[in-house]
Amino acid sequence: MDLKNVLIQPIITEKSTQQAGQENQYSFEVTKTASKNQIKQAVEKFYGVKVRGVNTVIVRGKTRQILKSRKRSKKVDWKKAIVRLAEGEKLAVFELPAQEEK
């Protein structure tokens, strides 16, 4: 698999931003067939940082019921990777903008 197709997008939520600041862990949506080694290589190549470890999880898609009908639809399952960086490394994507003082 080509490394440019491994990472789909960073996951920027309140929890992931907190993990980035406190634990130096960053979350990404990745292709379902990507291995931990491929994810590590892709992050190191595209962001220029040293990766210490990768954890992955398959996130199950939610089932929803359409209003006024009995039809159900299901969102697709996707894979999430939580990447731990080496000490002193940071990703600019997850940095909060500086807040102005009043």
Residue 76 inside a domain? The answer is yes
Residue 14 inside a domain? The answer is yes
Helix extents (H) in the chain: 14-22, 36-47
Burial 16-37 (b: 16+ CB within 10 A, else e): bbebbeeebbbbbebbeebeee
Residue 20 inside a domain? The answer is yes
Residue 18 inside a domain? The answer is yes
Q: 48-86 pLDDT, tens per residue?
A: 999 999 999 999 999 988 887 888 899 999 999 999 999
- Cα distance between residue 25 and residue 27, in whole Å: 7
Q: What pLDDT score does 93 carry?
A: 74
Say what percent of the chain tops pLDDT 70. Answer: 91
Residue 97 inside a domain? The answer is no
Count of structural domains, the chain? 1
Residue 62 inside a domain? The answer is yes
Q: Which of 50, 38, 41 is nearest to 90 (CA)?
A: 50
pLDDT above 60 (res 39): yes
CB-CB contact of 21 with 63 (8 Å) = no
Residue 69: give the domain boundaries.
Answer: 3-88
Residue 93 inside a domain? The answer is no
Q: What pLDDT score does 69 carry?
A: 80
For position 67, which CATH number holds? 3.30.70.330
Residue 98 inside a domain? The answer is no
